Amino acid sequence: LSGCDSGFGQATARHLDIMGFRVFASVLDLQSPGAQELRQSCSTRLTLLQMDLTKTEDIQRVLQHIQAHTNSTGLWGLVNNAGFNDTIADAELSPLSKFRTCMEVNFFGSLELTKGLLPLLRSAGGRIVTVSSPAGDMPFPCLAAYGASKAALSLVMDTFRSELQPWGIKVSLILPGYYKTGTTCDPAFWNLQKQQLLASLPQELLQAYGEDYVEEINQQFIQFMKVAVEDLSAVVNSITEGLLAANPAVRYYPGQGLGIMYFIHRYLPYFVRDLFLKGFFINPKLPRALRREHHNDVKKA
C-alpha cells in the first residue's frame, strides 16, 4: 500500500490492519506524523517501509523486503495510492518540470512498483487497486500536469486489467471526488507554490496572462478546498471492496457530484462539459492581454 503518510493511504492501512490483514505500508518519511500515528494505532502485523516513488533504489528495496516476506504465500493485493500534485495553473503556465514530476510519481513510480510485484500477485491470483482521479478523464481547468499523469495511470491499469485476466488477477480503479488529504488542503502550501510559479514565469508569459490572473486562480482553488470532504470512509470502503469482493467493480466513484459530472462528460456536448468544470472547479478570468482595458491602454500608447 503506497502513500501512507496521510489521507487515503493512512486511513486504508489502519482499516486493513483492524480487519486482521498483514499490511506493508510505504511512507515518504518514517518519522512523519502520519507514520508515527500508524505505529501507535496499528498492530505489529503492520510493516512501515520508506519509499520515494521517484527513486528506483527505494522501490527495489521495498520489492526485496516484500518478496522476502511473501515468497511462500504470494501477495494478495497491491494498492497504488501515492499521488502528487503541486501546480494549479494553465498548461502554458505550468513548467515542464512539473509535468515530469507528476509523471514520475503518479505514473512511472506506480508502474514500476506494479511490475515488480506482479510475480507475487500472479502466484496468489490477487488484486491491484489503483487510486486515480476524474482529472485523468476530463480536462479540469488548471490541472493539466496532474490530470495527464492520472490519464496515463488509468490507461495502463485498464490495460493490465485486460492482460492479467488469464492469471486470475482483478484490477480496479478508484476515482474519488474531492477529499481533505495531506497538503492538498493547506492554503499556505498553495500560496507558496503560487509565489514560486510567479517567480519562475518568463516575462512574456507574465505580461500576457498577468499576475492577477495567477492570483485569481489560486484564490478560487483555496475557496474550492473548503468543500473538500473530511470523512474518507467512502474511499477506504471502495479500496477494501476492490481488494476483497468476489467480483470487484472495474471503476469505483466515491464522492458526491461525480455521477452528474460523468453523465455530462459522456452524453452532452464538449462546451457544456467545459462550462460545468469551470463552474464546479476553477473559472479563470480573462488573461491580461485579452482584456478590453489592456487593448485600450495599448491604443493610447
Any idea what the CATH number is for the domain that residue 151 is in?
3.40.50.720
Residue 64 belongs to some domain of the structure: yes
| The pLDDT of residue 92 | 98
Residues spanned by the domain of 227? 7-289
Following CA atoms 102, 103, 107, 110 in sequence, which dihedral angle do they give, to the nearest 10 degrees?
A: -60
Residue 270 annotated to the active site: no
Residue 51 belongs to some domain of the structure: yes
Residue where the block lists cell 471503476: 251
| The pLDDT of residue 21 | 96
What is the spatial distance between Cα 246 and Cα 291, in angstroms, rounded to a whole number?
A: 57
Q: What is the pLDDT of residues 173-214, one digit of tens each?
A: 999 999 988 766 788 999 999 999 999 999 999 999 999 999
The three-class DSSP label of residue 4 is coil
Alpha-helical regions (H) of the chain:
7-18, 33-41, 56-70, 96-102, 110-124, 144-163, 187-200, 203-209, 211-225, 233-244, 258-267, 270-280, 292-300
Residue where the block lists cell 495553473: 89
Q: Are 12 and 239 in contact (CB under 8 A)?
A: yes
| The pLDDT of residue 164 | 98
| The pLDDT of residue 183 | 67
Residue 23 belongs to some domain of the structure: yes
Number of domains composing the chain: 1
Picking from 160, 147, 157, 159, the residue whose alpha carbon sits closest to that of residue 102 is 147
| The pLDDT of residue 72 | 87
Residue 86 belongs to some domain of the structure: yes
Residue 299 belongs to some domain of the structure: no
Residue 1 belongs to some domain of the structure: no
Residues of the chain with pLDDT under 50: none
Residue where the block lists cell 493610447: 300
Residue 301 belongs to some domain of the structure: no
Residue 300 belongs to some domain of the structure: no
Q: Are 19 and 46 in contact (CB under 8 A)?
A: no
Catalytic, out of 146, 179, 252, 253: 146
